[in-house]
């Protein structure tokens, strides 16, 4: 992880499979704040993803690389890797990307891939973080932004924020509250990365704000 200031503006890619509300939050924040980075590429595995539409509306290059069960994983990774290299990407943000990245791809972009997860990790890993926390009956859940390593929802944690679950609240209301927090937390984490303000020691992420 860079711990010396590297002033080069970061080129950000966002991987998204669905609605893309987090993608939108990062795009908007990067346009309105000086985060030393720009979203230059959006990749999806789903041609119908609303995320792709959002990217096109902001004149951001997009590509859809669907995962074809008949083609090999190596071939699929090769296509993604090539797309990332062609665009000179410094940071990959996963934002509701529904495919698992392969260990080789993760190793290739070590400490350059971050993810947002809708729970306070390490609780409620997996696809249904909001629903699982709600069904479990916890009183506090939240949002985590973390680096991606080979294990699911496991890498070093950059930011976390709690979200209270009040009595009588529905799962839908909780979902809305979680998304509201996500849309603030993810752009902040991206800003730290782009300004070279993150340093990983063991699995602890230090935030060294420069101004």
Work out which of 13, 14, 15, 22 binds ligand GRF, going by CB under 6 A: 22
Spacing of C-alpha 144 from chain mean position: 10
Q: How far is the CB of 170 from ligand GRF (least distance, A)?
A: 17
User: What is the C-alpha to C-alpha distance for residues 72 and 91, in angstroms, rounded to an integer?
Assistant: 25
Is 46 among the residues that bind ligand GRF (CB under 6 A)?
A: no
Radius of gyration of the chain measured on its C-alpha atoms: 17
- With binding defined as CB under 6 A, does residue 95 bind ligand GRF? yes
CB 134 within 8 Å of CB 123:
no
Cα–Cα distance list, 147 to 7, 48, 76, 86, 151 (Å): 21, 27, 22, 23, 11
- Smallest separation (angstroms) from ligand GRF to the CB of 2: 26
Beta bridge partners of 181: none
Give the three-class secondary structure for 185.
helix
For residue 191, state whether it binds ligand GRF (rule: CB under 6 A). no
Q: Is residue 58 a contact point for ligand GRF (CB under 6 A)?
A: no
Instruction: Identify which range of 35-43, 67-75, 80-88, 115-123 contacts ligand GRF by CB under 6 A.
Output: 115-123
C-beta of 64: minimal distance to ligand GRF in Å?
Answer: 15
19, 46, 102, 111: which one binds ligand GRF (CB under 6 A): 19
Kindly tell me which of 56 and 199 has the beta carbon lying closer to ligand GRF: 56
Q: Tell me: does residue 20 bind ligand GRF (CB under 6 A).
A: yes
128 included as an active-site residue: no
155 touches ligand GRF by CB under 6 A: no
Q: Return all residues near 181 (Cβ < 8 A) that are at least 6 apart.
A: 142, 143, 161, 163
Nearest to 24 by CA among 186, 191, 160: 186
Q: Is 118 in the site for ligand GRF (CB under 6 A)?
A: yes
Of 27 and 35, the one with the shorter C-beta distance to ligand GRF is: 27
Q: Which residues of 129-140 are buried (b: 16+ CB within 10 A; e: fewer)?
A: bbebbbeeebee
Binding status of residue 21 toward ligand GRF by CB under 6 A: yes
Q: Side by side, which strands form the sheet with 37-44?
A: 61-64, 37-44, 10-15, 91-94, 113-117, 140-147, 157-164, 204-207, 198-201
Among 10, 54, 112, 117, binds ligand GRF (CB under 6 A): 117
Catalytic residues: 117
Which stretches of the chain bind ligand GRF, using CB under 6 A? 16, 18-23, 95-96, 116-118, 182
């Amino acid at each position: 992880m860079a711990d010396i200031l590297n002033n080069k503006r970061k080129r950000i890619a966002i991987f998204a499979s669905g609605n893309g509300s987090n993608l939108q939050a990062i795009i908007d924040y990067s346009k309105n704040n000086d985060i030393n980075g720009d979203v230059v590429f959006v990749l999806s595995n789903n041609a119908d993803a609303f995320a792709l539409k959002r990217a096109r509306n902001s004149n951001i290059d997009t590509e859809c690389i669907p995962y074809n069960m008949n083609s090999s994983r190596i071939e699929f990774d090769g296509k993604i890797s090539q797309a990332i290299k062609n665009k000179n990407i410094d940071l990959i943000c996963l934002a509701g990307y529904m495919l698992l990245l392969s260990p080789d791809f993760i190793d290739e972009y070590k400490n350059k891939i971050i993810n947002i997860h809708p729970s306070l990790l390490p609780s409620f890993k997996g696809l249904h973080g909001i629903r699982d926390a709600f069904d479990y009956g916890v009183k506090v859940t939240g949002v985590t932004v973390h680096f991606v390593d080979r294990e699911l929802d496991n890498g070093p944690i950059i930011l976390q924020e709690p979200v209270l679950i009040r009595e009588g609240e529905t799962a839908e209301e909780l979902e809305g509250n979680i998304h509201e927090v996500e849309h603030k937390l993810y752009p902040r984490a991206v800003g730290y990365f782009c300004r070279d303000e993150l340093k990983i020691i063991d699995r602890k992420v230090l935030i060294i704000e420069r101004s």
